[in-house]
């Protein structure tokens, strides 16, 4: 095995991110409390620099590096840019919340950068080993972030649940990978695909391995029936950490699913297709129905996440290029909506007060009509109301389902979307038609107000011209 200079050029975004994360860690140790903001600025600069490296290295065709363990392609580059952008916005949203609770420490930003590095590795993984390394780097960083508030018993409990169930999911995934490796004798995903295509004697063993891989993916996505960790972790974790978990890792999970099931096991799609149908239908059903009963908005958005995961899986099960593009489009749109939704929760929070109850949104229009309007856009988009971006995401997936002959699944998805619209509209009703219980003025840093406004308006304006983003997703899949 030999490494060329070009190999290091391909992985330069990851090298830069790792180097800067280590540098931020060391610098933060010696910073006085009065200069704590420097850690935030360095972290944001790191994300900007990483994004610039990704743009500079943007590939026109797939490029393999590091002895074929790493692939640089257009799908990976696009997802990496969105991951960096979403983590950048998440840091902006989180700073005020963390500062008010004396949690504005270097650990949050360093762990956030390391989690981002894990996501980038997952996105560009070309072997089973690389996928697992990226996944564990992401997972371990997230476990620590959930327990960031060490004085909170609720956060500690959520971290323990996340760690135990996450370890179980990783074990399932690793067991499935080991079975596939045992049958094919290959770790490289392209070699695995060729071996599966040529192997007609070990089909049962291959399907057995795929079952465990799909179970592991279901845990990481939070799909039913592997969703039990999602509402407890969303509620128990500090809200900035919940924001991170609900957004950027979904893009990395989508990339992992594409690398494993599409790049590596496309020839077994007739077998994993049925599993994905079960996961998606159950997720839409349980997610939308249970969300109606929630009074805590973080738990409500957790079940909303589960329902959206079911929807994005619908594009995957079509096993077509346009279906994959629709699923990718849906994943990007969902992360933008989730980012904004939790951003508004952070906006309403203040020292000693967590805006995590639905009743905390009562009369928001009377307190601040602009951010009530931003939340209105986000909720209507999540409900799939035209002409917002969420509507076109659902439309893209449903049209691919119908074109692939899955009419009954499309009808089921529409039915559960109508049911799910109730709990989004309930928040709008609270904001515009109820009297506020809290009359304190909303205060937030200027950068957060600008970022949240841009986030909401992007959902509106991209909804008016959705074809551009959808075309980019289709083109990135080659």
Neighbours of 68 (CB within 10 A): 16
Burial string for 24-59 (b: 16+ CB within 10 Å, else e) reads bbeebeeeeeeeeeebbebbbebbeebbebbeebee
Whose tokens are 């937030």? That residue is 444
Q: Which of 323, 167, 331, 313 is nearest to 249 (CA)?
A: 331
Neighbours of 179 (CB within 10 A): 20
- Distance from the first to the final alpha carbon of the chain: 29
Q: Which of 307, 252, 339 is nearest to 422 (CA)?
A: 307
CB 360 within 8 A of CB 440: no
Report d(CA 183, CA 167) in Å as an integer.
24
ω into 225 cis (within 30 of 0):
yes
Q: How many residues belong to the chain?
A: 478
Structure tokens at 294: 């929630």
- The number of distinct structural domains making up the chain is 1
pLDDT of the residue at 2: 66
Q: Which of 139, 206, 209, 201 is nearest to 172 (CA)?
A: 209
Q: Consecutive sets of 10 residues in the chain, 478 residues long: mean pLDDT of each?
A: 75 94 92 84 95 92 88 93 95 90 87 96 94 94 91 89 91 93 91 87 88 91 89 91 92 93 87 91 93 91 93 89 93 94 90 80 89 93 91 93 91 92 92 83 84 93 91 89
CB 62 within 8 A of CB 96: no
CB 462 within 8 A of CB 389: yes
Range of the domain at 216: 5-476
Q: Which of 96, 88, 87 is nearest to 442 (CA)?
A: 96
353 φ, ψ to 5°? -140, 125
Report d(CA 439, CA 409) in Å as an integer.
46
Report d(CA 16, CA 306) in Å as an integer.
34
Q: Which of 342, 307, 372, 96 is nearest to 235 (CA)?
A: 342
Q: Which secondary structure element, helix H or strand E, spans residue 112, and what is its range?
A: helix 106-123
pLDDT of the residue at 434: 87
Whose tokens are 């020292």? That residue is 351
Q: Distances from the Cα of 462 to the Cαs of 337, 380, 391, in angstroms?
A: 12, 14, 11
Q: Distances from the Cα of 129 to the Cαs of 126, 181, 221, in angstroms?
A: 8, 11, 20
Report d(CA 202, CA 145) in Å as an integer.
42
Q: Which of 81, 21, 22, 87 is nearest to 57 (CA)?
A: 81
Report d(CA 308, CA 332) in Å as an integer.
12
Report d(CA 218, CA 167) in Å as an integer.
13
Which residues, in sequence order, are bridge partners of residue 70? 65, 125
Rg (CA), the chain: 21
Dihedral in degrees, nearest 10, Cα atoms 242, 80, 325, 10 = -150
């Amino acid at each position: 095995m030999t490494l060329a200079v070009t190999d290091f050029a391909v992985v330069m975004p990851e090298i830069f991110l790792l180097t800067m994360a280590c540098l931020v860690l060391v610098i933060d140790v010696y910073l006085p409390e009065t200069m704590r903001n420097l850690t935030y600025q360095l972290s944001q600069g790191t994300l900007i620099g990483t994004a610039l490296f990704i743009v500079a290295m943007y590939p026109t065709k797939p490029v393999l590096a590091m002895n074929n363990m790493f692939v640089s392609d257009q799908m990976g580059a696009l997802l990496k840019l969105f991951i960096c952008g979403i983590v950048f916005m998440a840091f902006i949203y989180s700073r005020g919340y963390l500062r008010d609770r004396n949690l504005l420490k270097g650990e949050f930003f360093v762990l956030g950068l390391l989690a981002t590095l894990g996501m980038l590795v997952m996105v560009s993984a070309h072997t089973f080993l690389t996928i697992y390394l990226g996944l564990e780097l992401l997972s371990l960083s997230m476990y620590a972030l959930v327990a960031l508030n060490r004085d909170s018993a609720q956060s500690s409990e959520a971290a323990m649940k996340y760690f135990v169930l996450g370890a179980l999911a990783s074990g399932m995934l690793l067991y499935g990978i080991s079975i596939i490796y045992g049958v094919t004798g290959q770790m490289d995903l392209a070699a695995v695909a060729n071996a599966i295509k040529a192997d007609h004697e070990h089909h049962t063993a291959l399907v057995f391995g795929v079952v465990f891989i799909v179970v592991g993916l279901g845990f990481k996505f939070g799909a039913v029936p592997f969703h039990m960790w999602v509402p407890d972790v969303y509620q128990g974790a500090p809200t900035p950490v919940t924001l991170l978990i609900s957004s950027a890792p979904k893009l990395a999970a989508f990339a992992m699913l594409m690398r494993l099931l599409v790049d590596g096991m496309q020839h077994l799609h007739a077998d994993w297709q049925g599993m994905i149908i079960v996961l998606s239908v159950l997720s839409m059903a349980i997610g939308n129905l249970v969300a109606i009963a929630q009074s805590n908005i973080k738990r409500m958005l957790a079940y909303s996440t589960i329902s959206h995961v079911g929807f994005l899986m619908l594009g995957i099960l079509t096993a077509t290029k346009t279906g994959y593009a629709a699923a990718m489009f849906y994943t990007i749109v969902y992360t933008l909506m989730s980012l904004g939704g939790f951003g508004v929760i952070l906006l309403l929070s203040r020292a000693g007060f967590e805006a995590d109850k639905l009743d905390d949104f009562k009369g928001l229009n009377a307190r601040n009509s602009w951010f009530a309007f931003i939340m209105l856009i986000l909720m209507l988009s999540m409900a799939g109301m035209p002409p917002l971006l969420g509507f076109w995401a659902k439309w893209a997936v449903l049209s691919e389902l119908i074109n692939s002959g899955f009419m009954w699944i499309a009808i089921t998805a529409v039915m559960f979307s109508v049911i799910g619209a109730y709990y989004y509209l309930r928040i709008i009703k609270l904001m515009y038609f109820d009297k506020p219980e809290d009359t304190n003025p909303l205060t937030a840093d200027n950068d957060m107000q600008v970022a949240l406004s841009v986030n909401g308006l992007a959902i509106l304006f991209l909804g008016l011209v959705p074809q551009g983003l959808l075309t980019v997703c289709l083109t990135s899949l080659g």
